[in-house]
């Protein structure tokens, strides 16, 4: 999900203010609304290389959560399904879209959408998913489904339906991955 090639990078100044009302001067592209340091100190999250192979960046938490806790919102631009389809029918870059009911989609393609967009699908990881999407009052939250320890990556299952809506290729089964095609022998290397 966190394939940065398809994201729209938004650069903005960190919104953190100290006790004296002085605003942080650091610019951020990835961790809106705060810079990396203040995302850690204020929210308890950081973005790092995902533990899921080839998944790109992932979301890690320095907090602990118990089952049922809200971890983070999956935020973004709320548009209609029709607008969403028109936006991505040609490019196929709709992997940040999350269906909201049947008529709306949350498009988190912009990096300013918040941290929920960095949560990776646990598929292919040695870790189990520890969260799930839950819709409530026109918002989608990422909720803990098991105990999460400080330092753990937040992992989820996008689900088949969601994947399709998101324009992600269906998962290859482990069988397919292991299947080796007959290799052509390189005759020039005799």
Residue 46 CB coordination number (10 Å): 18
- How many angstroms separate the CA atoms of 120 and 141, rounded? 14
Selected binder of Zn ion within 35, 140, 156, 165 (CB under 5 A):
35
Q: Which of the 8 DSSP states describes residue 50?
A: -
24 versus 79: smaller Cβ distance to Zn ion: 24
Tokens 């969260």 correspond to what residue? 131
Indicate whether 41 belongs to the interface with Zn ion (CB under 5 A).
no
- In whole angstroms, how close is the CB of 22 to Zn ion at the nearest point? 11
- Considering only residues 2 to 21 of the shown chain, the ones binding Zn ion according to CB under 5 A are 14, 16
33 versus 56: smaller Cβ distance to Zn ion: 33
Whether residue 33 contacts residue 14, with contact meaning beta carbons closer than 8 Å, is answered with yes
Indicate whether 46 belongs to the interface with Zn ion (CB under 5 A).
no
Region of 4-12, 29-37, 92-100, 150-158 interacting with Zn ion (CB under 5 A): 29-37
Nearest to 127 by CA among 107, 108, 101, 146: 146
Give the interface size with Zn ion as a residue count (CB under 5 A): 6
Region of 26-34, 124-132, 140-148, 180-188 interacting with Zn ion (CB under 5 A): 26-34
Indicate whether 26 belongs to the interface with Zn ion (CB under 5 A).
yes
33 versus 124: smaller Cβ distance to Zn ion: 33
14 versus 52: smaller Cβ distance to Zn ion: 14
Residues 6 or more apart from 52 whose CB is under 8 A from it? 58, 120, 121, 122, 123, 124, 125, 127, 153, 155
β-strands 104-107, 120-121: how paired?
Answer: unpaired
- In whole angstroms, how close is the CB of 24 to Zn ion at the nearest point? 3
**10 φ, ψ (degrees, to nearest 5):** -115, 130
Residue ranges binding Zn ion (CB under 5 A): 14, 16, 24, 26, 35, 38
């Amino acid at each position: 999900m966190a394939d940065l090639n398809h994201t729209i990078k938004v650069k903005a100044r960190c919104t953190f203010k100290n006790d004296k009302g002085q605003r942080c001067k650091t610019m951020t592209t990835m961790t809106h609304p705060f810079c990396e340091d203040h995302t850690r100190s204020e929210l308890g999250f950081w973005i790092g290389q995902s533990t899921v192979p080839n998944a790109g960046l992932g979301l890690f938490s320095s907090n602990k959560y118990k089952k049922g806790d809200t971890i983070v919102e999956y935020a973004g631009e709320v548009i209609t399904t029709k607008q969403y389809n028109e936006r991505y029918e040609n490019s196929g870059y709709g992997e940040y879209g999350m269906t909201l009911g049947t008529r709306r989609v949350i498009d988190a393609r912009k990096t300013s959408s918040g941290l929920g967009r960095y949560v990776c699908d646990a598929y292919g990881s040695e870790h189990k998913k520890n969260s799930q999407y839950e819709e409530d009052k026109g918002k989608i939250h990422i909720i803990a489904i098991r105990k999460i320890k400080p330092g753990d990556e937040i992992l989820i299952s996008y689900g088949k339906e969601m994947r399709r809506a998101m324009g992600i290729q269906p998962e290859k089964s482990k069988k397919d991955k292991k299947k080796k095609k007959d290799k052509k022998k390189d005759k020039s290397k005799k």
